[in-house]
Amino acid sequence: MDRFKQLEDSMLLGPQPTEQDLEQAKQLGIKTVIDFRLPSETPMPNAEVAARCGLGYANILVNKASLSKEQIDELDRVMREKEGPFLIHCASGARAAMLLALSRAKKNNWTAERTFEEARSMGFDLQTSPEFAKFVVEATTK
């Protein structure tokens, strides 16, 4: 689990987990996996692996080329409706960090800069990706 960052609210954030990672996450108290990857990014459906490990699962499809505020709303809905704590991930963790930071920005009325700081605290510099940087600015501008 050293590839995952433990966030203050008992949430784990990181890259594509292995089955061993999911087993360890369950032992740490994680209840639900939130996956931001597209089906084409994985040879085996993550829902099956999560179920084998006794974890709940939600998939929010996030393509870097088509980011939308609806994805933030979907994350908020999943976190309300599914049992936490959560392990959130994508291939590298960057999409997961971006959407989680934007969810927090929406709740706290943060600026883009504060949202970038939040993502950096999670270990991701969203400003290095033109698509992510643009989306954070758009999503935090009223």
Domain range for 25: 5-140
Distance CA(38)–CA(24), nearest Å, equals: 24
Q: What is the pTM of this model?
A: 0.94
State the residue for tokens 């643009």.
Answer: 134
Residue 128 maps to which CATH number? 3.90.190.10
The total domain count for the chain is 1
Residue 1 has pLDDT above 80, yes or no: no
Q: What pLDDT score was predicted for residue 40?
A: 87
Q: Summarize pLDDT for 45-69 with one digit per residue, the tens.
A: 789 999 999 999 999 999 989 999 9
Mean pLDDT of 105-117: 97
Residue tagged 């950096």 (tokens): 120
At residue 2, does pLDDT exceed 90?
no
Cα 9 to the chain's mean position, in Å? 14
List the structure tokens of 22: 């999911």
- Asked whether 83 and 56 are in contact (CB, 8 A), the reply is yes
